[in-house]
Amino acid sequence: MKKLLVVDDEKSLIYSIQDGFEPYKDQFKVLTAPNGLEAVKILESNSVDLVVTDLRMPEMDGFELLAYISSNMPTVPVIVMSAYATPQIEEKLREMGALDILRKPLDFDVLAKCVQDGLNQGVPGGSVTGISVGSFLQLIEIEQKTSLLEMHNENGQKGHFFFKAGVLLDAVCEELRGERAALEMLRWGRVQIRFRNLPKSKIRRKIHMKLMHLLMEASRMKDEGDLPPSMETEQELEQERDSLPVAAPGEDPLLAYEDTFDQPWGGDLGIRGAVRKVAVEEAEEQLAKTAGLYAALKEMAEDIEGVLACGVAGLDGVHLAEYNPAGADTDAFGMKFAMVMRLLEKSVQDLKIGCFEENLVQTEQAWVLTRFLTPRYYLEIAVDRGATLGTVRLVANKYSRQLAQWLS
């Protein structure tokens, strides 16, 4: 049986994915890991057919995991989850043909299709389906990561890329430096990717071309069999070599650079600046959204007697905001009811009896009301059985519109 490895440090998301894939248990087995270190242990002891991973995790993040897979298991397809990928960035990465990238909160139906496609793409005898250098660099850019990447190709060549806050500052490959070195390495086929310790000294910016332009130019050169742009004269070559800082024996020149990267973000930085600007704007928007949702939930709870917990969650079971005066296990609450909401919505659609609006669960001690606010998010309210259900519904109706506006 095929095996799927899901790597994420959000327990509620892991539980939700496990439950969501329960109907597929006769097709593949779901393995899980909370970080890259645990994922590597699973990969080394199991034959895994597909990996789904988050990028930001403790101990060993998704980038290091991707580098490990690319170097050691390049035939394993990878699906990346990110809260910072815009639709435009997703499309660009898919055009690279090396991986899928899914935005959080996850749409489980989209995830399920990507997983099935990934598991079915295998060909007898195997083919190199690992993440490409270009896709990996784009992920570094998207997540605004500061990294020193070391690349090794099958011919024994070695090179480095240096990123600061997602911006590609420099590259070195043997005697090439800057954009020439980047173009050379982007044309490499199968590579090993390693993370090196960041240099103590800072890096001088030598690359000013946009990353997407570099990728396009490298692709054109690879298709047409061109070599990277070379120095026009031996004098220029000597000047370029002389400009490299003096490195200690065995040290790479890149590690001795100084930093002249002081260009403010307000300038025209093309895709790099746009990506960072979008990411910052999205983060600020998310903070405002969470604060607005929390304030509305707290105000709603104060209008209802006996509220145990209330929140807004996505269909992946992850809460955007919650108000939890009783200290309930909201992670399990969100995950389980996300699965219930998906199943009920599908059942109502199959019965063709209109749109699913609300679900009410009665227990010995509580009422649990859940209703959709948007197609991807729902409101959950747990109240003591002593509460008046009619009041709960009236107040929920009042605040549902306000909560939905924060989600729009």
Instruction: Give the residue from 217, 288, 279, 218 showing the smallest Cα distance to 89.
Output: 279
Task: Catalogue all structural domains in the chain, each as residue range(s) with its CATH number.
Answer: 2-256 (3.40.50.2300), 273-407 (3.30.450.30)
Cα–chain center distance at 73? 20
Report d(CA 105, CA 315) in Å as an integer. Answer: 8
Report d(CA 344, CA 390) in Å as an integer. Answer: 22
Instruction: Give the residue from 406, 340, 30 showing the smallest Cα distance to 332.
Output: 340
Please report, in tens digits, the pLDDT of each residue of the chain (408 residues total). Answer: 899 999 999 888 898 899 899 999 999 999 999 999 999 999 999 999 999 998 888 888 888 888 888 778 877 888 888 776 666 556 655 554 445 778 777 888 889 988 988 887 653 333 334 567 887 888 788 778 888 888 888 888 999 999 988 889 999 998 888 999 999 999 887 777 888 877 766 667 889 888 888 888 888 877 766 655 544 444 444 454 444 444 444 555 454 444 333 333 333 334 334 444 444 455 556 667 888 898 899 999 999 989 999 999 888 777 888 888 888 777 767 777 877 888 888 888 888 888 888 899 999 899 999 999 998 889 999 999 988 888 999 999 999 989 998 887
Q: What is the pLDDT at residue 85? A: 61
Report d(CA 315, CA 335) in Å as an integer. Answer: 8
Cα–chain center distance at 37? 17
| Cis bond before residue 87 (omega within 30° of 0) | no
Encoded tokens for 272: 């790099």
Report d(CA 195, CA 136) in Å as an integer. Answer: 12
Report d(CA 142, CA 122) in Å as an integer. Answer: 28
Encoded tokens for 355: 């749109």
Around 345, how many Cα atoms within 13 Å sit in the side-chain half-sphere? 17
